[in-house]
Structure 1
Amino acid sequence: MANKTLRALVIILAFAIAGYAIVQYGVLQASSAGLVSFKLTKPNFELQPWIYVLYAHIFTAVFALVIGPFQLFIKPTSARRRWHRRLGYGYVASIMISGIVNVYLSLFATGGWVSSLGFMSLDVLWVATTLTAVRKIIAKDVQAHRVWMLRSYALTFSAVTLRILLAPLAILLGDFEAAFRIVAWACWIPNLIVIETVIRRMRLRQQY
């Protein structure tokens, strides 16, 4: 029951944040988004080409965010294996693209070098866990592939935890930049701690 509840919560939050991103950046004006509007207050900030790189990151990350639950929570039976593989290609490709553009975005992160280092660390781990998962499935180690994909999606899910934490922290601290420095780390480190706990429990169940 707990696992089903957690899965349902992950799916709901993933789709909610994906929907928000699509509406905010695909339908409404990007300049009205909190992060973009804050950056526009900075006299030395240049919107272009930063905004186009941000769009590339958002839509590839949203793609991975939405695909992830289907890949992790639906068992790839014989009938579904082809779609599992195709969606997997899409998931990995979206992370590789997002990982590349994130290097640029990290250099200009709100909050200075503390935020930059946090997001750069996230980016490196995101790409590394995903590529490790790919290597495991190429080696036909299905169990290890699943474990590394869980880690990969935990980092993908940082898009959700960032948006859950940012507004309350900004209100609590009264400083958007200070909140952003914290959330640059807090959006993904707890995710990894949680998923490592889940993985440990999975392994313990397999032993008994």
Structure 2
Amino acid sequence: MRKRRLYRGMFGVAVVYILYVTFMNFIHDPQAAAFLSHKVGLKRTVNTSIWLPVMMVHIVAACIAMLAGAVNFSNLILTRYRSFHRANGYLYVIAVILVDITSGYMAPYATGGKMNSMAFNFINFIWLIMTIAAVVFIKRKQLAKHRKWMIRSYVFCYTNLFIHLISFLASKGVGLPYVTSYTIGVYGAIVINILLAEWIIRRVI
């Protein structure tokens, strides 16, 4: 029952957040004017004619990864539709790679400067390593290890959610400057992702 409640909650959060991100970035503010307004004092000028399309690909790939990963944690899909589970798993891997590539391009323009750029590059690296580890273990038929590494990989789909949640609380709740709040959000999200994955592995599965 605990696993079922966790899965339903996770799936619900994923769907709601995907709808929210889609609305905010493709309907409400497709030029990302609000987000770009916080990118002050950067050493590199943001070329919006390139940055915006890259960001859109980044968002779409991140949403695909979030949804594909959520679907593949379903026991029903795993037991009854193995071929779909496998294909959907590869879709997840491709989506993660696309997120990493686009994030790598955008990292030098990160709000908050070099400190946050390094954090995003770190996220890109460990997320890819965790995803590759999950693929390697399933190729070796080590299902338990595959599942653990998929959990570690999948929580990073929620990085952006945690960043904006923490930065919102820090800026609106505590009254910190936006850039400071965003930096706290970036590093806080990394810590939450790692701790959350290990908690799920040890306490739920």
TM value normalised by structure 1 = 0.87
Show the counterpart of 1:198: 200
* Farther off after superposition, 143-152 or 179-188: 179-188
Can you list the C-alpha shifts for 1:63-121, whole angstroms capped at 9, x where unaligned? 111111111133411x3101101111110000011111111111110001111111111
- Aligned 8 A contact 1:126 1:156 in 2: no
Q: CA deviation at 1:32?
A: 5.2
- Aligned 8 A contact 2:46 2:109 in 1: no
- Aligned 8 A contact 2:127 2:153 in 1: yes
- Aligned 8 A contact 2:31 2:52 in 1: no
* Farther off after superposition, 1-10 or 16-25: 1-10
2:158 is the alignment partner of 1:157:
yes
- Unpaired segments ≥5 residues, structure 2: none
- Helix, strand or coil at the partner of 1:185: helix
- Aligned 8 A contact 1:147 1:199 in 2: yes
- Aligned 8 A contact 1:24 1:33 in 2: no
Q: CA deviation at 1:44?
A: 4.3
* Farther off after superposition, 39-48 or 164-173: 39-48
Q: CA deviation at 1:9?
A: 2.3
Paired positions, count: 202
Can you list the C-alpha shifts for 1:2-23, whole angstroms capped at 9, x where unaligned? 4333322222221111111111
Can you list the C-alpha shifts for 1:166-208, whole angstroms capped at 9, x where unaligned? 21222224311111111111113212112112212357xxxxx
Q: Which runs of structure 2 are paired with 1:162-181 in the superposition (5 Å)?
A: 162-171=163-172, 172-181=174-183
Show the counterpart of 1:206: none
Show the counterpart of 1:112: 113
- Aligned 8 A contact 1:30 1:36 in 2: no
What is the alpha-carbon distance in structure 1 between the residues aligned to residue 4 and residue 81 of structure 2?
A: 21
Q: Which runs of 4+ in 1 moved over 6 A?
A: 40-43
* Farther off after superposition, 158-167 or 51-60: 158-167
Q: CA deviation at 1:54?
A: 0.9
Q: Which runs of structure 2 are paired with 1:61-140 in the superposition (5 Å)?
A: 61-75=62-76, 76-77=78-79, 79-140=80-141
Can you list the C-alpha shifts for 1:127-186, whole angstroms capped at 9, x where unaligned? 110011011111111111111000000111212222322212222243111111111111
* Farther off after superposition, 88-97 or 183-192: 183-192
* Farther off after superposition, 164-173 or 49-58: 164-173
Q: CA deviation at 1:33?
A: 5.9
Show the counterpart of 1:36: 36
* Farther off after superposition, 55-64 or 65-74: 65-74
- Unpaired segments ≥5 residues, structure 1: 204-208
- Aligned 8 A contact 1:31 1:37 in 2: no
What is the alpha-carbon distance in structure 1 between the residues aligned to residue 32 and residue 163 of structure 2?
A: 18
- Aligned 8 A contact 1:14 1:160 in 2: no
Q: CA deviation at 1:24?
A: 1.8
What is the alpha-carbon distance in structure 2 between the residues aligned to residue 166 and residue 33 of structure 1?
A: 18
